[in-house]
Structure 1
Amino acid sequence: MTTTAPAPASASASTAVAVPRRRRLRALGGWAIVVAIVVVGVVVTLQLGAKMPAARGVLDPEGTGDSGAQALAELLRDQGVEVSVQRSRAEARAAVDESTTLVMTNPYTLTDDGLAELIAPADRVVFLTTGTHLLSELGIGESGSGTSAPVDAGCDVPEFARVGTIRPDRSFVPAAGVTGCFGDGESAAVLVDDGDGIRRTVVEGDRLFSNAYLSENGNAALGLALLGQTERVVWYVPSYSDTDIEGSAEPDTLGSLTPGWVTPAILLLMIAGVAAALWRGRRFGPLVAENLPVTVRASETMHGRARLTAKASDAAHAAEALRDGARRRLAKRLGLAVNARADEIADAASDRLRVPRGTLQPLLDGPLPQDEPGLVDLARRLDELETAVDETTQAMRRPE
């Protein structure tokens, strides 16, 4: 019988050392691949970001996002109106004539003299957004408090006769001699000034003429009534690249305020951090499921939060919780999305209960009560509203 001599001890030791070494090399190789992928991803992202066009601003006639106004510009072109987009005030002024409507958002990048020079040759000027300074400069009115409920024109401007109703985004108090439209008598969403033979119109159109809201109510009709009265529209887009405001000096940046050695030090720290991660990094094992030692029921959590709210006498917080729950339940019962806005839920509930629109907005989105009697009253009214909606829903499902 033959016997096999045992392997030398040195060979066994070298094999035992080689196995952990290969594992470490394999782990370092995996980390190197991850770092390479991250670096390549960052480089590609920077390249794509440098090549992408700059984002358009609010109510930009070439903006395709929710806040842009390309839909309104295309609607005007469909009606035979020539829309000329200008991003230079000199070119915009040269393009204006008697058969042109000059349109722009709040020209915050222009001085008062620059604005006066721009609108001087125009017979019709429409400001789609405005600010307090612009209202004061035009002498057309001042900011006021209005309502977000649907309103009709309520004025004798012929263009607005067939607009229908809109939901004002902002209301103004018209100055003497200025016509206010789409308001409640004291304030208006649209101001029209025909002084000196020049028609100047001011409206806050962020939620009226943007791509996201143009199709709601009479927003599109109002846009056509404001901008579609002439054969051509010169749409000037204000920007800081076309400003006549002269700054005294360039603003300080973080790079100009820090010493020159800060950037190399930050880079060195980042490299040291990556090296330490590769050196001391460990591979995590598989996830282990572990049961909690105790079970906390949802009812106990609810009662605990209720006791905290009661102890703090925070009626407003409790009212907001009640209102949020009521809105979610009403949205589900009315067939709306879970994230539907309060005004949408109020309008749908008003239609279901056949009550005038606008009566339920204060209940679902009005001021919160600050004391316990107000909280109790709010809870009672919310419960009555949900009960009424449930009864109408059951009546609709009941066979004739």
Structure 2
Amino acid sequence: MTRPATAVGPTVRQRWRTGRWVVLALLVIVVIAAVGTVLTAPKPGAPMDPQSTSADGTRALVTLLRDQGVEVVEARSVADVERAARADTLIVFAETYRLTDEEQLRRLAGLPGDRLLVEPVSRAREALAPELRTDGVSSFVTRPDCDLPEANRAGDAELGLTESYRGASPDLPLTRCYDGALVRYTDAGRTITVVGASAFMTNDALLEQGNAALAMNLAGAAPRVIWFAPQQREGAAGDASLADLMPDQVGWIVLQLALAVALLAIWQGRRLGPLVAESLPVVIRASETVEGRGRLYRSRRARDRAADALRTGTLARLLPRLGLTATAQPEAVTQAVAARIGGDPGAVGHTLYGPAPATDAELVTIARQLDDIERQVAHS
């Protein structure tokens, strides 16, 4: 017996033919959205990293330079810089606090080509721009007020709180812009440019006023640029282990010390008798104490007390190195420090005995300058 035809079969097939295109379209949309998310997601990295799209990276600036036809070579090590260096190349040095080896700095100082130092630490500035000295802090100067074409074309720029520089010799033909935050001079046929701030080059601040124009004018001054912002410290000893770096006598010294400690422990143990269990008080780590005091200062906006604590601690460590007592007058301390590091007595006195900071940024600058002075005195 033949069953009568019904409309159920054709209706299901019709619905599938219609719905499969909807499902396929949804899948395509999901795939495109996933790929777009992966491609446009921020790429984290260290500050001034040319590959980083985070706020303090420089991916945007490097991309703009390449769009303008500038060849940008991203160097990850001192050896990369040495291989790529040429006379027609500008070398951009950033994150110089990771350059801790004097031999590396000497190698970099001997390379051909112009230099652009971005917020250099004292060690790097002394090696790569030896004719410059720090001249205090420039507070939020925006106008160039100089004859440098790159700065005049950019106009006003938001550099923020920045270091300022002067020439080590009054005879040095030095061009100073933004109240000394940007300086340039010529040495041995190469042009050396130093800028005391780096934030204006980052992805986050590139759109502020003339920041993008200034950054591109400085970093794009040559058709070929080597961008060197080391992301980690390079060891001076290469692949040598810690044991390889120790003198042969160290092993005997350690053995003698271990034997002396063992004999002392036996003697004290026999003298004091058996150990007695005793409940110890709560031990608070020094780092937690420092962090707690810092939070208290910040919650009460006690920048004056925080700056006074930093200056007092620095002076307590500096005075013995300078051969001075705790009763030494500020003028004597200032002159002794300035003579030791070859700095300006006015700038040194302002750092050690100046007024209390008005903002958190000024407090951070004072801390950095105090650390810089203490390091220079220790290594002088």
TM-score range, shorter chain: 0.3 to 0.5
TM score, norm. by length of structure 2: 0.48
